[in-house]
Amino acid sequence: MQLDGSVVIVTGGASGLGAGSVQSLQEAGARIAIFDKMEGPDANDDGRQRSYRVDIADEASVARAMDAVVSDFGALHAVVNCAGIVKSCPLYGELGRYPSELFNQIIAVNLTGTFLTMAYAIERMAANEPDTNGERGVIVNTASIAALDGSSSIGYAASKGGVVSMSLTAARDVASYGIRINAIAPGYMDTNMFAGLEETYRSKLISGNVFPKRLGKPQEFGALACHIIENPYINAATFRFDAGARV
């Protein structure tokens, strides 16, 4: 799918991986709808970018925002799901058991939120006229290497593991509509999630990279998301994006 002129929703687009994706999509000529609980950037003068206050864990909020995007832009062609949260806590330790309310919160945002945006987006993409490749839409979800190796948080690992398996199943479900679904599993990225970590711990994590030994840049993530959208042969896959890191 060609990004130039296409309408793309970026969840969590006000910061982190979402903001990096927005930048890459802008450079590719896409029209962008930013979904975020935080205040997003102001709409562009040319009307090619708008921000919507959305809680992706709330179905009514997602439904309203999807309708608004189609009304404002006239269509929906792709989604890059970047909204997510992480809070580290062992299943059991000095502070006791892992709080069930924390587990439910992480699942609600990272997994249920991804499901809701996919389901409502696909419903609208299915009405698109297919392009020359027979495509009607593309979705790129954000998983994590925590889904593939391990994590300091059982809730986060569960949510991102769910994103991986859900993306594959969803891709098979909607293939007949000409809609592709893939996931990216990033490693240690230069976002707010890592900014609050102790420097010695950050350095220890980065040392596990094969090369380069640094945090990934959100714009690099965005560049991969753009390639996945534009390459019609990429489908039902999860891409490690981690400089060779292993947890």
Please give the positions annotated as active site. 156
Looking up tokens 């590719």, which residue turns up?
28
Contact 109, 56 (CB under 8 A): yes
Q: Rounded to 10 degrees, what is the CA torsion of 231, 234, 240, 243? A: -30
The answer to whether 143 and 164 are in contact (CB under 8 A) is: yes
Q: Which candidate, 146, 143, 156, 68, places its Cα nearest to that of 104?
A: 156
Q: Could you tell me the CA-to-CA distances from 22 to 36, 212, 220 in Å, in that order?
A: 12, 24, 11
Do 8 and 208 form a contact (C-beta atoms < 8 A)? no
